[in-house]
Structure 1
Amino acid sequence: MSGTFLKGSDNQRQPSAFSTQCAVIGALMLRELHSRFGRDNIGYLWLIGEPMMLATVISSIHYFTSHSHQGMQPYPFTLVGYCLFIIFRGIFNRAEGAVEGSSSLMYHKMVKPIDVMLVKTIIESLGCVASLIVLMAIGIMLGIAEFPVRPLYLMLGALMVTWWSFALSLIVASVTYGSHTLGRFVHPISYFCVPLSGAFWTMSLLPSNFRSAMAWNPMVAMFETARYGQFEWADDRYMYIGYQITVCACLTFVGLVFIRTLQKRIHV
């Protein structure tokens, strides 16, 4: 009886797989934050400060040089589009060479390539969303922005952009591993995505023939969802939420297959 009881208590003290995975993610996040931002000056606050500076400059330029987009104020219009695009750009661009840069961590059996990619996704998305919240609050106080009309849709748009970016990052990290030639295409692709993403224009402004073609671009639907959450007069006809989820789910499956194949190729 006593032996059985002690054996059971030992099993209860063993951490679960979920708690172990959370501990791994937390440790990797601290390592990533320290390696990227350090502890000097404002330290980890650069996580928010860096995208805030970029978004402030772009949004201010559009505020003074642009007009309202069908009742949508230029400052929040640009702010929502740019902050969400920074999520994509940061996750997508940092995927190239991400696993190689963390190859020393693979000595630990608990650390997998997908953990590295997940941590980068969390850090980039949290920093950009926090920047969006802070800058939007400042705009509201200055009277150049209004509180989001449908905040859940705004957060849904940010979530879909993050999911889309994470799925693509798994593929990019796997394809570019050990191939610097392929890695050189990553940044140019992100530049081409700027005019095609729908971050700075709406579907309702496009001619009908271009509109039908751009409807196949899931990023456009994601930004339309975010704008529908921010603005009262935004159009809800081009969100295609079911299409977004389907595309992201399929890309995630492909990315998981790629990253699992990559894990078998890594020798530590």
Structure 2
Amino acid sequence: MAQLSLSRRPSRGPWRVTRSVWFAMFMREAISRTMADRMGWFWMLFEPLAIIAVMVSVRGLFLSGSEVAGADHVPWLVVGLMGYGLFRENMMRALGAIEANKGLFAYRQVKPVDTVLVRCFLEGALKSFLFLLFIGIGTLLQFDLMPARPLGVMLDWLSLWALGWGAGLTVSVLGDLVPEVGRVVRILNLPLLLLSGVILPVMYIPYPYREYLLYNPIVHGLESMRLSFFDGYHTLDGIDMTYLWFWALSLIALGLILHLRFAAKLKAE
């Protein structure tokens, strides 16, 4: 009896099992995302750099001045692109997370929601690293990319991350159950880019239409982050991070509910 009791290994609790699953999936996703393609890191850096170069060139051709609403144009554009990229990548990468990890569902410990949570965490970590890298490079090139209120920037960054996480949780289920949803989400990428104040300042929108922009929670996140970055920056009245968090928490709750409701169907398909 003594030998039998000694040979029994203590069972792991649910939380320890979940942590082990998340860690294993995170390492798998990280290696796949950064090392499967030799040009992976290059494209992650080149994409925002190319967009910035094109937009700066277009502005130089058609508009005069180097400032946008009290902030230098290049840092203003970097903050907008990185903030929007954080939201977009969390949403778009989550869209294909379940389908890409179907083989892992043979293990009963792996749930469809795990694939989305891990992928969103990885995308947020990569974007955070790239943002810090851009800040460092911009500072070396003497661009005004050091935030005036770092804590405010961090909170705004986390808010956009949470919003993207919620959108990712929701569309990952809807896109897997109804493939047309995925196509619609991809089509909406460009309109969202234009209507979120990423490359076109919200102050340039005609006055009667500005209030409609405030229905878009991404606008609140980007403009709040720019206000935290640049001391002299001014934007629309009515920027409210509580509104963004309302959307973020609602989408997270909706996404988790959908994952719980359709977990078996997501595994089976």
Note the alpha carbon deviations across 1:86-111, whole angstroms, 9 max, x for none.
22222222233321221111122221
Paired AA for residue 57 in structure 1: A
1:120-139 alignment runs, 5 A limit: 120-139=119-138
- 2: CA distance, partners of 1:247 / 1:41: 37
CA RMSD of aligned residues (A): 2.6
- Do the aligned partners of 2:224 and 2:239 also contact (CA within 8 Å) in 1? yes
TM-superposed deviation, 1:194:
0.7
Paired AA for residue 26 in structure 2: M
Count of aligned pairs: 258
TM-superposed deviation, 1:232:
0.7
1:172 aligns with 2:171: yes
2:246 alignment counterpart: 246
TM-superposed deviation, 1:63:
4.0
1:97 aligns with 2:92: no
TM-score, scaled to structure 2: 0.85
- 1: CA distance, partners of 2:84 / 2:242: 21
1:45-56 alignment runs, 5 A limit: 46=40, 49-56=42-49
TM-superposed deviation, 1:34:
2.5
1:141 alignment counterpart: 140
- Do the aligned partners of 1:58 and 1:78 also contact (CA within 8 Å) in 2? no
- Do the aligned partners of 1:49 and 1:131 also contact (CA within 8 Å) in 2? no
TM-score, scaled to structure 1: 0.85
- 2: CA distance, partners of 1:217 / 1:180: 25
Identity %: 22
2:51 alignment counterpart: 58
- 2: CA distance, partners of 1:157 / 1:202: 18
TM-superposed deviation, 1:75:
1.5
- 2: CA distance, partners of 1:41 / 1:100: 24
- Do the aligned partners of 2:95 and 2:175 also contact (CA within 8 Å) in 1? yes
> Structure 1 51/39 Cα, relative in aligned 2: closer, same or farther at 3 Å?
closer
1:8-157 alignment runs, 5 A limit: 14-38=11-35, 41=38, 46=40, 49-66=42-59, 67-157=66-156
TM-superposed deviation, 1:257:
1.1
- Structure 2 residue matching 1:149: 3-state secondary structure: coil
- 1: CA distance, partners of 2:43 / 2:19: 27
Give the unaligned 5+ runs of structure 1. Answer: none
- 1: CA distance, partners of 2:139 / 2:18: 39
- 2: CA distance, partners of 1:40 / 1:102: 18
- Do the aligned partners of 1:202 and 1:224 also contact (CA within 8 Å) in 2? no
Give the unaligned 5+ runs of structure 2. Answer: 60-65
Note the alpha carbon deviations across 1:164-206, whole angstroms, 9 max, x for none.
1111112211112143333222211112211112222444443
1:258 alignment counterpart: 258
Paired AA for residue 85 in structure 1: Y
- 2: CA distance, partners of 1:31 / 1:244: 32
Paired AA for residue 184 in structure 1: R
Quick check: 173-182 or 186-195, which moved more? 173-182
- Do the aligned partners of 1:62 and 1:74 also contact (CA within 8 Å) in 2? no
> Structure 1 205/192 Cα, relative in aligned 2: closer, same or farther at 3 Å?
closer
Paired AA for residue 216 in structure 1: Y
Paired AA for residue 109 in structure 2: M
- 1: CA distance, partners of 2:110 / 2:96: 17
- Structure 2 residue matching 1:77: 3-state secondary structure: helix
> Structure 1 103/241 Cα, relative in aligned 2: closer, same or farther at 3 Å?
same
